[in-house]
Structure 1
Amino acid sequence: MGQVTVLVNEKAYMVSCGDGEEAHLKDLAAHVNLHVTDLARQVGQVGETRLLLMASLLVADELSEALAKVKMLEADIEQLTQTRIAALERSRDAEDLLADVLDNAARRIEDIARRVEAA
């Protein structure tokens, strides 16, 4: 199990994590620290717990917006998939119709060729 020291609001915290997750954990802590630092500038040092709570709410809001975008994109993907399936079906139908037209034309040409040869 890995351990990492992260800095949030100018305080060091030792955090355990899975092996190989250290860099990711540091990135996450840096993101939280950005929010805490911005909040401390805006509202002052209102206490570590309150700053962490406010930063957590901001991060949760970002996550909520990201999940909403993912849901919207999944709906768009589903709609595009259905449109693509419908287009493929129309294309197959058009190919079948074209094949029928070409078969009929070939039969008519063969019929004309037989009549010309018989004449």
Structure 2
Amino acid sequence: MANIDVEIAGRKYSVACRDGEEAHLRSVAALADKRARDAADALGSLTETRQLLFTTLLLADDIQDMQSGGKGPTPPAAVDEELVAALESLADRVEALARRLEAPAPLEEPRLTP
């Protein structure tokens, strides 16, 4: 198992991958980083969570364009279905996290002590 460092949205991450997949992981991390920078450039100051949410949405939009035959960053024939499923799952998780972070904190009931 290989371990490489990637940078996305100005943060460095150490990521494990199978031996021989380092170049592929660096390539997809570069795509994610570009989309993170696109989101920040287009929307201005964002929290880290919101930037990653919009990054995920931009990547999901790219995938949807490719699946529908649109002009995405790579030809539709090159779509990796496992990658599509992983990104869609990630988008769902980031959206759920963003909703939880943006929701008002529930008020706690005062507890009576005996």
Q: TM-score with structure 1 length normalisation?
A: 0.55
Q: Separation in 2 of the partners of 1:4 and 1:45?
A: 29
Larger Rg: 1
Partner AA of 2:15 in structure 1: V
Which residue of structure 2 lines up, in the alignment, with residue 65 of structure 1?
65
Task: Give identity over the alignment, percent.
Answer: 36
Q: Separation in 2 of the partners of 1:63 and 1:9?
A: 20
How do 1:98-109 and structure 2 match up within 5 A? none
Partner AA of 1:69 in structure 2: G
Question: Gaps (5+ residues) in structure 2?
Answer: 71-75, 78-114
Partner AA of 1:24 in structure 2: H
Question: What do residues 22-75 of structure 1 show as CA deviations (whole Å, max 9, x unaligned)?
Answer: 1110110100111111111221231111111111111111111111229xx89x
How do 1:65-104 and structure 2 match up within 5 A? 65-69=65-69
Paired residue total? 72
Q: Separation in 2 of the partners of 1:8 and 1:45?
A: 16
Q: Separation in 2 of the partners of 1:60 and 1:37?
A: 16
- Secondary structure at 1:45 match in 2: coil
Which residue of structure 2 lines up, in the alignment, with residue 4 of structure 1?
4
> Structure 1 segments of 4 or more deviating over 2 A?
none
Q: CA deviation at 1:12?
A: 0.3
Q: Separation in 1 of the partners of 2:56 and 2:47?
A: 14
2:8 corresponds to 1:19? no
Question: Gaps (5+ residues) in structure 1?
Answer: 75-119
Q: Judging by fraction of residues, say which structure has more helix.
A: 1
- Secondary structure at 2:46 match in 1: coil
Partner AA of 1:66 in structure 2: M
Q: Separation in 2 of the partners of 1:41 and 1:22?
A: 28
Which residue of structure 2 lines up, in the alignment, with residue 28 of structure 1?
28
Q: TM-score with structure 2 length normalisation?
A: 0.58
Q: Separation in 1 of the partners of 2:45 and 2:5?
A: 22
Partner AA of 1:6 in structure 2: V
